[in-house]
Chain A
Amino acid sequence: MQHYPILSIVTLFLGAFLTVIFGSKNETVRKFIALVASSISLILVLMLIKPVMIENNVIQYWMGNWRPIHDWAIGIGLEVDSLGLFFGIIAVVTIFLSIVFSFRYTEKDSETDKYYVLFLMLSGSVLGLVFTGDLFNMFVMIEIMTFAAVGLTAFRNYQEGALEAALKYLVLGSIGSSLVLAGTITIYSQVHTLNMAQISALLFNNLTPSTLFAFALLLAGYSLKAFVVPFHPAAPDAYMSAPSSISMAFSGMVNKAGVYAIIRLVYVLYHAMSFKSIQLLLIIIGTITMFVGVTMALAQNDFKRLLAFHSISQIGYVITAVGVSTALGLTAGLYHALNHTLFKGLLFLTAGAVFYATGTTDLNKLGGLAKKMPQTAAVFLIGAFSISGLPPFNGFVSKWLVYQATYQANLAPVTIVALLVSVMTLASFIKVAQSIFFGQMPKEFENVKEVPLSMRIPMWIMAILCVLTGIFPNFVTKYLISPAVSAALNVGKYIDIMMGNGYAEKILGKPVEIPAVDYVLAGYWNPVAWLVLFALLLLAVTIVAVAGGFNTASLPVDGDDSKYEVFFGGEANEYSHVKGNDLFWGLKYDLRHYFGFMHDAHSGIINDYALWAIFTTTIFIVYIFLLVP
């Protein structure tokens, strides 16, 4: 049980290398290796849940058995507490489903062996980052992750914009990595150790200016990896041009890894959550990210680009909730991170299915696919309703927790912005639903067929997960989220396990009690009873229908009887599908100055984005030096 974390990481990397050796020629061998590697790591991580989450102990593993001598950690240590495992589960589930999806999804692409190699490297590095207990090892994993991601963004290099997106991601990613490296080095120069537990013990209320400088750099670097607003422009292009199974992994794992790093940095390493200013900084970033992300998404014309901006805005939710340092805030943040991975992954898979079936994801070209691809449309609706937070689905519970947390921390404007953003999310997904799945179907998609089964299975799994996490919030929080929150808040145990007992007695305050999110707190009426209502009402409506003098719906008979044509003001039905940017004219007209400014700000030139990144890093540094004591 001690070796599961390292084994799960190694199997993924091993899978990558084996694919290079054996899989380069034969397609099925490649798929087999990828499937085996991801399922082994999935099983290993899921087996970790019982010891870490339920029995609440922390697994520590020293590479090469280099245990700390005289209380000084030299070797690289893996440390899996429930916070790390929580993100690990998210990552592993996303990896497995994404690989199953990409079997048939990438059959039209050439050289898919490079796809699987890079993908396994990406997943191995994310798992490594989440399980590691060593700061420099975290930097190495972030490096691997960034470069694998850049490679995967440019995987379909025949698509226009793919190479440019990869270059943008490369430039911004390397800026982020260099910031992280600089931060790590400055910390090392101060505390002469790289083991996070020991750093956290040594940094406990003796924050010298250079550790503050390191804190600012690390915060900037990690928030760049999480694509927070000032650093976000690389994300939409990368998500758009990468294959959908990869952009699902991006939005499921890669920006979650960034969020994990921020939580680890702020809560565990620097115990910075006691400083009001840091909380305010995170909340401001989160709110701006939320708002900018969703307003930009409203103006998009491409399905995947719209989803990319939504990922940014949902990460804004998570960071705002994490910024509210109360236990409820962190619970809301983590719960929303889990939900976000589920419904965003589901939506990216539907985007992939639409791309696979029609060859384009442009909102202005598609239409009326619900008749040809009913299951994809149903799954898309589940995803769209969950992301916009409608009650029976999971988005509602986590968003509600975010509002409750922010409003209890006396942040009324943030709650109002959050609710407004949630409505705008609903608006943009109605736009997608109308432009792609409903309305009239253009001629060229006449013979579009439903996507093959192996692509629909992961979609349905995620849809069911979306509904389950929405219907049983207290079950999910009790087993998954509360342990993670307690791990993040009481840091003492994290340190003692690694450095031997008694090392962190000055930090060992009394453990913060975690409010179990049950129906009273979640304020959500017991959804099971809601399902009973659903059944009762359906019964009532059918009774009225049967008893009443109803005549059954007259379904359209073939032939061209114009009774079943759509009412077109009397005209014959020609193709006039209301789609893409015909929608929300009123809103765009009223906010045209804002959209104009946003349009210019996202100029698409790399040095503008690099300027944005450096500018915000300096703001972080100045802010942290001024406000933190």
Chain B
Amino acid sequence: MLKELIAKSFEKSPWLFHLNTGSCNGCDIEIVSVITPRYDAERMGFKLTGTPRHADIVLVTGPITSQSKDRLIRTLAQVPDPKVVVAIGSCPRSTNVFNGSYSVEGPLDKYVPIDVSVAGCPPKPEAIIDGLAKAIEILKEKRRAMK
């Protein structure tokens, strides 16, 4: 009985960790606006946490600049399983307009498989909420697969 409860609660209380790898902050303010009263992600249980240790879903924004590359890898490693990586905006997906620049270390999937990518520059908060809904599905499968 407890096991289904735990599995169900993964769907009900995913915690987010926001990881900015050199983004122009367009997507960052969109992520934060998801928690404002108008879009209110908290009613679905989302909560921004301060440390990767508490996170289930990692929201990555920005084209991976060379400065933030190894920090990205280290922080993503510190997130306990099951974890889901969501690329917010086009930059993590494909380094957007910064493609080919000397200081950009390429799209996110060079370092970690992207589970959900929300396109848009910046994506609309509703799109982010869609992305998070998809991320919850993947989180549940990963949790089932993890045991």
Direct A/B contact, Cβ within 8 angstroms: yes
Residues of A within 8 A of B (CB): 547-549, 551, 561-563, 565, 567, 569-572
A562 contacts B74, C-beta separation under 8 Å: yes
Contacts of B74 in A (CB 8 A): 562, 565, 570-572
Which residues of chain B from 51 to 73 have a CB within 8 Å of any chain A CB? 51-53, 68, 70-73
- Given known A-B contacts A561-B77, A563-B78, A547 and B2 have beta carbons under 8 A apart: yes
Contacts of A570 in B (CB 8 A): 68, 71-72, 74-75
Contacts of A563 in B (CB 8 A): 77-78
- Measured CB to CB, the nearest residue on chain B to A564 is B78
- Contact partner of B78 (CB less than 8 A), chosen from A547, A548, A551, A562, is A562
**Min distance, Cβ B114 to any Cβ of chain A, angstroms:** 19
Q: Does B3 contact A (CB under 8 A)?
A: yes
A562 to B111, CA, bound (A): 14
B71 contacts A571, C-beta separation under 8 Å: yes
A223 to B66, CA, bound (A): 68
Q: Which of A547, A549, A561, A572 has the most CB of B within 10 A?
A: A549
Which residues of chain B from 26 to 82 have a CB within 8 Å of any chain A CB? 51-53, 68, 70-75, 77-78
**Min distance, Cβ A610 to any Cβ of chain B, angstroms:** 55
What 7 A-B pairs are tightest by C-beta distance, nearest first? A570-B71, A549-B3, A562-B74, A570-B75, A563-B77, A549-B6, A562-B77
Q: Does B110 contact A (CB under 8 A)?
A: no
Q: Could you tell me the dominant secondary structure of chain A's interface residues?
A: loop
**Min distance, Cβ A548 to any Cβ of chain B, angstroms:** 5
Q: Can you list 9 A-B contacts with CB-CB less than 8 angstroms, sorted by A residue number?
A: A547-B2, A551-B146, A563-B78, A567-B51, A567-B53, A567-B75, A570-B74, A570-B75, A571-B74
- Measured CB to CB, the nearest residue on chain B to A571 is B71
Q: Which of A547, A563, A571, A572 has the most CB of B within 10 A?
A: A563
Contacts of B78 in A (CB 8 A): 562-563, 565, 567
Given A562-B77, A563-B77, 6 more contacts at CB 8 Å?
A: A548-B6, A549-B147, A563-B78, A567-B53, A571-B74, A572-B70
A565 to B146, CA, bound (A): 22
A572 to B72, CA, bound (A): 11
B2 contacts A549, C-beta separation under 8 Å: yes
**Min distance, Cβ B53 to any Cβ of chain A, angstroms:** 6
A549 to B77, CA, bound (A): 23
**Min distance, Cβ B87 to any Cβ of chain A, angstroms:** 18
Contacts of A565 in B (CB 8 A): 74, 78
A567 to B71, CA, bound (A): 10
Contacts of A569 in B (CB 8 A): 71
Contacts of B77 in A (CB 8 A): 561-563
A563 to B52, CA, bound (A): 11
- Measured CB to CB, the nearest residue on chain B to A554 is B80
**Min distance, Cβ B94 to any Cβ of chain A, angstroms:** 23
- Measured CB to CB, the nearest residue on chain A to B79 is A563
- Contact partner of A548 (CB less than 8 A), chosen from B2, B51, B71, B75, is B2
Which residues of chain B from 11 to 27 have a CB within 8 Å of any chain A CB? none
**Min distance, Cβ B81 to any Cβ of chain A, angstroms:** 9
**Min distance, Cβ A562 to any Cβ of chain B, angstroms:** 5
**Min distance, Cβ B52 to any Cβ of chain A, angstroms:** 6
- Measured CB to CB, the nearest residue on chain B to A548 is B2
**Min distance, Cβ B77 to any Cβ of chain A, angstroms:** 5
- Measured CB to CB, the nearest residue on chain B to A561 is B77
Q: Which of A549, A562, A569, A570 has the most CB of B within 10 A?
A: A570
Contacts of A562 in B (CB 8 A): 73-74, 77-78
Contacts of B7 in A (CB 8 A): 549
**Min distance, Cβ B128 to any Cβ of chain A, angstroms:** 23
- Measured CB to CB, the nearest residue on chain A to B54 is A567
**Min distance, Cβ A551 to any Cβ of chain B, angstroms:** 8
- Measured CB to CB, the nearest residue on chain B to A563 is B77
Contacts of A548 in B (CB 8 A): 2-3, 6
**Min distance, Cβ B5 to any Cβ of chain A, angstroms:** 9
A100 to B56, CA, bound (A): 54
A569 to B147, CA, bound (A): 30
A407 to B99, CA, bound (A): 74
Contacts of B146 in A (CB 8 A): 551
Bitwise interface map of B from 68 to 106 toward A, beta carbon under 8 Å scored 1, else 0: 101111110110000000000000000000000000000
Contacts of B53 in A (CB 8 A): 567
Which residues of chain B from 107 to 147 have a CB within 8 Å of any chain A CB? 146-147
Contacts of A571 in B (CB 8 A): 71, 74
A517 to B92, CA, bound (A): 70
A572 to B70, CA, bound (A): 9
**Min distance, Cβ A540 to any Cβ of chain B, angstroms:** 14
**Min distance, Cβ A547 to any Cβ of chain B, angstroms:** 6
Contacts of B52 in A (CB 8 A): 567
**Min distance, Cβ A423 to any Cβ of chain B, angstroms:** 27
Contacts of A551 in B (CB 8 A): 146-147
A209 to B74, CA, bound (A): 79
**Min distance, Cβ A514 to any Cβ of chain B, angstroms:** 55
- Measured CB to CB, the nearest residue on chain B to A566 is B78
Q: Which of B73, B74, B75 has the most CB of A within 10 A?
A: B74
